[in-house]
């Protein structure tokens, strides 16, 4: 019952004042909102109108900027064209610069060369100047010598005149002397011819005597005015030592020469020339290094033997001709054998 009583009291409470207060507050809020909206619209309208003005200004500026941009683009195109032209000009300038640098390097090199040449020329000029001074001094000395020689020449001309006079005087005397000299020459030639003829007769007698003593042998023969021994008759191969057979062949030669030499008058200056010859085959032994040495040694061996047999040394001579006086130009063993020889010649000195 108590609960029911409380519920009833609540249902009897008056709610109108609270509702009025709430409605009043709502109305005030609505009014405030409307005022705020109205103020906002005012300010928004004001802002929008200012914005339109600014937008118009911005459009004008945009148009101006567009015009400027177009101008700038045109300017940029012109600049690009100028840049291309400048690039070509720069390339040409670089090429010209490279050429100039090369020319400069060449010019510097030429300058150095010219400097060296100039130094050389300067040195030559200095040397030429020194030589010129020396030449001037030499010319002065020569001029002095010429002056002295001129005086000497005058004196010599005077002496020549005196000598010419003496020559003219002696020329007449010489004519008579020349006649005597010519007569003496004729007599001397006749005497020489007589001696040569006399020696030739003794040579013929000597060679005839040798033929008788040596007999008719193919390896020993007379050729013209020479008596020829083949080397194999006198020497072993590549040797200059006489064999025992050679002593038998040369002894008659020495005897015949001694016999004939007693008949030759003392005023005939004769000599027996012994010549050694080899073939052209080269030789190189410890004793003989060439055919020159072998041929000479063989000739000397014959001369020594004849001296030992009593032939005066002043009547003998030895000569070696090597392989350079062949009697047979062939290359056969027979030709080589004919070229290896000892020749004896009785002649005058």
Domain ranges of the chain: 193-348
The pLDDT value given to residue 259:
82
Cβ proximity of 301 and 240 under 8 Å: yes
CA distances to 19, 26, 35 from 31, in Å: 18, 9, 6
The pLDDT value given to residue 191:
45
Cβ proximity of 284 and 290 under 8 Å: yes
Close Cβ partners of 93 (under 8 Å, ≥ 6 residues apart)? none
The pLDDT value given to residue 14:
63
The pLDDT value given to residue 195:
47
Task: Name the nearest CA neighbour of 261 among 222, 304, 314, 319.
Answer: 314
Task: Name the nearest CA neighbour of 214 among 257, 254, 249.
Answer: 249
For the chain, 349 residues long, the average pLDDT of each consecutive 10-residue run is 54 65 84 84 75 78 82 81 80 82 82 81 81 81 80 77 74 63 54 48 56 54 77 92 89 84 77 94 92 96 95 93 94 93 85
The pLDDT value given to residue 190:
46
The pLDDT value given to residue 235:
94
CATH class of this structure's domain 193-348: alpha beta
């Amino acid at each position: 019952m108590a609960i029911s009583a409380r519920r009833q009291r609540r249902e009897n409470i008056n709610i109108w004042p609270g509702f009025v207060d709430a409605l009043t507050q709502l109305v005030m809020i609505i009014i405030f909102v409307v005022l705020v909206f109205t103020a906002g619209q005012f300010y928004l309208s004001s802002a929008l109108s200012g914005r339109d003005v600014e937008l118009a200004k911005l459009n004008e500026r945009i148009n101006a900027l567009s015009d400027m941009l177009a101008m700038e683009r045109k300017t940029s195109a012109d600049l690009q064209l100028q840049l291309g032209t400048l690039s070509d000009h720069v390339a040409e300038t670089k090429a010209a610069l490279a050429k100039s640098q090369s020319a400069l390097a060449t010019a510097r090199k030429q300058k150095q060369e010219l400097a060296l040449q100039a130094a050389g020329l300067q040195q030559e000029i200095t040397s030429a100047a020194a030589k010129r001074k020396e030449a001037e001094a030499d010319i002065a000395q020569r001029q002095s010598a010429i002056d002295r020689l001129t005086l000497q020449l005058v004196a010599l001309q005077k002496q020549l005149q005196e000598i010419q006079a003496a020559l003219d005087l002696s020329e007449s005397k010489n004519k008579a002397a020349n006649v005597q000299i010519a007569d003496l020459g004729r007599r001397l030639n006749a005497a020489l011819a007589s001696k040569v003829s006399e020696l030739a007769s003794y040579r013929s007698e000597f060679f005839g005597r040798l033929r008788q003593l040596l007999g008719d042998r193919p390896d020993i023969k007379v050729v013209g005015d020479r008596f020829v021994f083949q080397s194999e008759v006198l020497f072993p191969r590549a040797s200059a030592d006489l064999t025992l057979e050679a002593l038998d062949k040369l002894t008659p030669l020495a005897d015949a020469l001694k016999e004939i030499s007693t008949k030759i008058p003392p005023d005939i200056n004769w000599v027996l020339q012994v010549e050694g010859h080899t073939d052209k085959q080269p030789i190189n032994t410890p004793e003989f290094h060439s055919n020159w040495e072998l041929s000479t040694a063989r000739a000397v061996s014959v001369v020594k033997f004849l001296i030992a047999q009593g032939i005066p040394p002043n009547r003998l001579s030895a000569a070696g001709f090597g392989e350079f006086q062949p009697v047979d130009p062939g290359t056969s063993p027979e030709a080589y054998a004919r070229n290896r020889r000892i020749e004896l010649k009785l002649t005058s000195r």
